[in-house]
Amino acid sequence: MSEPSPAFPRERSGARWQTEVEVTHGIGLHARPSVAFTRLAKSFPCAIEVAVDGSADWLNGKSIVKIMGARIRRGTRLRIRAEGFRAEEAIVALGELVRRNFDEDRKNARADGRPDGRPA
């Protein structure tokens, strides 16, 4: 799905990988972006957690209830960390997804019937 980017900023601490990314999507992680994020997170076997704006409260990145509850908005600094098998790949993929605005800015996410420009 996402091309692992060698330039993507990330840190390693033991078996744990962490990255930080700013949410630039218009509204933040509302319904559709949350689905995209948690579905991608669940495709990895490692544990994935997110924290918002420097909060020490790490939330399960595979839970849409937790992600929605965090009300992640535009401009939020989102930290993503993963631990376990394919952890590095996971944080890169999730970080890229956020950077790509959850693939939504290429899709006119409007209710007025504009053509769906989502990539296949």
* Binding pattern for the stretch 3-22 against other proteins, x by CB under 8 A and - elsewhere: --------------------
30 is catalytic: yes
Binding footprint of other proteins, residue count (CB under 8 A): 31
Strand boundaries in 3-91, DSSP class E: 11-13, 16-22, 47-52, 59-60, 77-83
| Residue of 54, 110, 119, 120 that binds other proteins (CB under 8 A) | 110
| Residue of 2, 10, 16, 27 that binds other proteins (CB under 8 A) | 27
> What is the three-class DSSP state of 22?
strand
